[in-house]
Structure 1
Amino acid sequence: MGTVIMHSVASVDGFIADDKDDVGPLHDWYFGGDVPIVEGGSMKVSRASADYVRSTWAGLGTIIMGRRLFDQVNGWEGEPPAGDHVVVVSHRPKPEGWHPEASYHFVDDVTAAVAKAKELAGDRDVAVNAGEVGGQILAAGLVDEVAIDVVPVVFGSGRRYFGGVDGQHLLADPHVVIQGERVLHLRFKVRR
């Protein structure tokens, strides 16, 4: 069984987007290097970031995202950046006629989302996009690790990495600390 990893790029002050849902310069590091993440792809990062991102993406079977992000990116047009499947947490169904060939599954509960994502992922990992849905999955005790790609930007306000999560959640010391160019990759196990 794979690991459930809550992940996103975040500002130094813990935001995944500004007040207008704009990610601003948070993803610039994906295009600022000279090493392609995927052969022939437009995303080029530093060597340290490329090795980390490639290995992380290769281990993913399923991504869990909220409906807000799905709508913003139009579900990546049915082609997730990593993994083979996507589970969308939403009270609304998949848009009629939207990429029927894509392995996108719509569920209305975070517990059901994690169960479906694990089923689809098999032995591979599950990535949970940070934000409100990610915070709910963390609060439900269903996240094994937290991965944050910290970018040297301060937003001051916006959409929080952990959403509106209530209560305290303890993390172990980081077991991954990789300095890329304009990004610091961190991974923590969730203490139970």
Structure 2
Amino acid sequence: MGAVILHSVVSVDGFIADEHDDVGPLHEWYFGGDTPIRPARDERQYDHSGAGSDFRVSSASAGYVREMWASLGAIVLGRSLFDLVNGWEGQPPAGDHLVVVSHRPKPEGWHPEASCHFVGEVPAAIAKARELAGERAVAVNAGQVGGQVLAAGLVDEVAMDVVPVVFGTGKRYFGALEGRQLLADPHVVIQGEGVLHLRFKVRR
């Protein structure tokens, strides 16, 4: 099976959005570059609001983002993010399957063609995502659900796209995670334009 990767764009002080779920400048690097990103599975692109858009990053980031997106088979996210982006209208930027951690069911009539699964508990959600992804990786969106997955010992790697902005307060990358989690030295360090890509393996 592929790795389970906790991932998000994040401010230098560890926030993925402000208190009102506004990402501010965190995603600007996705659209301000000169190199388009074309996942192998689909040329249609969606920004974080679900509207159609082409991702264009710097040449320094392009290879990393393409490889990361191509490696993903499924995305695990919380209900708040699903509702915020309306599940990317069933067409997430990467991965073929969505697994939503929620005790509430999928909205009635919502994109029946999409592979989108609602699972009540974190371990079951990761198991479902790994089943769907097969040999490909599973991405877990950072935040409350991501912190719970890390605390449960189910994360293999932490991937952070660090943007040079300080939020001060807001939604934390690791949610309400308590306790110490040890990571190995970063095995990916790529400096893009307006973003620093880092990946760490989780120490067991």
Within 5 Å, which residues of 2 pair with 1:56-135? 56-135=68-147
State the alpha-carbon separation in 2 of the partners of residues 126 and 43 from structure 1.
21
For the aligned residues, what is the CA RMSD?
A: 0.9
CA offsets 1:45-94 (integer angstroms, 9 cap, x no match): 01121100000000000000000000000000000110100000001000
2:30 paired residue number: 30
Structure 1 position 188, deviation (Å): 0.1
What amino acid maps onto 2:130 in structure 1?
K
Structure 1 position 166, deviation (Å): 1.1
1:5 paired residue number: 5
Helix, strand or coil at the partner of 2:9: strand
Say whether 1:139 aligns with 2:139. Answer: no
The 10-residue stretch of structure 1 (153-162 or 33-42) with the greater mean CA deviation from structure 2: 33-42
Helix, strand or coil at the partner of 2:184: strand
State the alpha-carbon separation in 2 of the partners of residues 103 and 40 from structure 1.
17
Paired residue for 2:180, among 146, 168, 184?
Answer: 168
Structure 2 residues not aligned, in runs of 5+: 46-53
State the alpha-carbon separation in 2 of the partners of residues 33 and 123 from structure 1.
31
TM norm structure 1: 0.98
State the alpha-carbon separation in 2 of the partners of residues 64 and 24 from structure 1.
23
State the alpha-carbon separation in 2 of the partners of residues 48 and 113 from structure 1.
34
State the alpha-carbon separation in 2 of the partners of residues 32 and 97 from structure 1.
35
1:182 paired residue number: 194
Runs of 4 or more consecutive aligned structure 1 residues displaced over 2 Å after TM superposition? none
Structure 1 position 114, deviation (Å): 0.4
Structure 1 residues not aligned, in runs of 5+: none
Paired residue for 2:169, among 121, 144, 157?
Answer: 157
Task: Work out the percentage of aligned pairs sharing the same amino acid.
Answer: 77
Paired residue for 2:65, among 53, 57, 62?
Answer: 53
Q: Which has the higher strand share?
A: 1
Structure 1 position 40, deviation (Å): 7.8
What amino acid maps onto 1:174 in structure 2?
P
Structure 1 position 160, deviation (Å): 0.1
TM norm structure 2: 0.93
Structure 1 position 19, deviation (Å): 1.3
State the alpha-carbon separation in 2 of the partners of residues 126 and 80 from structure 1.
13
Helix, strand or coil at the partner of 2:177: coil
Structure 2 CA distance for partners of 1:110 and 1:31, relative to 1, 3 Å: same
The size of the alignment, in residue pairs, is: 192
